[in-house]
Amino acid sequence: MEEQFFKSLADNLDCICYFIRPDHTVIWKNKKADDFLRNSSAQKCFNIFYDRETPCEDCNISIAKKRGDAPFITREINGYFYHHKIIPVYEQNLYMGSFIILKDITAQIQTEKREYISNLRFNTICEIGNLGVWEFNPKEKNILYLNPVWYTSLGYEPYEYPPTTETFANLIHKNDLDRVFKEIDNMSLKKQINFQIQFRLKRKDGTYQSIKSYGKAVEFDQNGFPVKMTGIHMDIKEFNDD
């Protein structure tokens, strides 16, 4: 009854499930596994599912038997990516075989790959253009993120100092400080979407660099006030030190 219940449950799962004996022979598989079948005449799991003549080098059946379980691993099979899980079955301390579960994560992997490529392109553009990227919460006045170029464009090592509002204030030229934070206050008190301001930041060598910063609100609270802004700053060399 329990076996029949498990098989019925497995047939409704959106993943590949099958049971193998200690010699890798497949003795049961669910409907999803049938769709995945590559060689209907084969009996060994590495023949049926992976079109191999011998077990995979990273097959962790032995690990499962020794540990009593095995962690999820990610495997590529015929161009698709799967989370692979082994659940060993024992009867009176005798290893009888393992349930194998394969969850298709190809779409997730492809999305992560696209995001990685997109981020790589963006970071490359920022490096070439010497653009500092920032994220800021105008309501709480918290800096959420500064990219490495934000530091290196001012002569500092990436993350040489913590990305805090206090540190940022200490870098702003004294004649620009009140104006910058007044603009930040305006952002937190108004339903303002775009942000643009010029000011000076202190470089590591003690000189001041003229900056133009552009930003846009990307997240809002329930009342429509911005709680997250993202933007860039760039060197414009338009101000003279006072």
**Domain boundaries defined on the chain:** 2-108, 129-235
- In this predicted structure, which of 9-18, 71-80, 170-179, 182-191 has the lowest mean pLDDT? 71-80
Q: Do 2-108 and 129-235 come out as alike in CATH topology?
A: yes
pLDDT at res. 47: 45
Q: What mean pLDDT do residues 216-239 have?
A: 84
Q: What mean pLDDT do residues 63-82 have?
A: 63
Place of tokens 């930041």: 201
Q: What mean pLDDT do residues 187-194 have?
A: 77
CATH topology of domain 2-108: Beta-Lactamase (3.30.450)
pLDDT at res. 209: 92
CATH topology of domain 129-235: Beta-Lactamase (3.30.450)
**Residues 61-71: tens digit of each pLDDT:** 554 445 445 55
- In this predicted structure, which of 9-18, 146-155, 204-213 has the lowest mean pLDDT? 9-18
**Residues 12-46: tens digit of each pLDDT:** 777 888 888 877 777 778 877 776 655 444 445 54
pLDDT at res. 93: 78
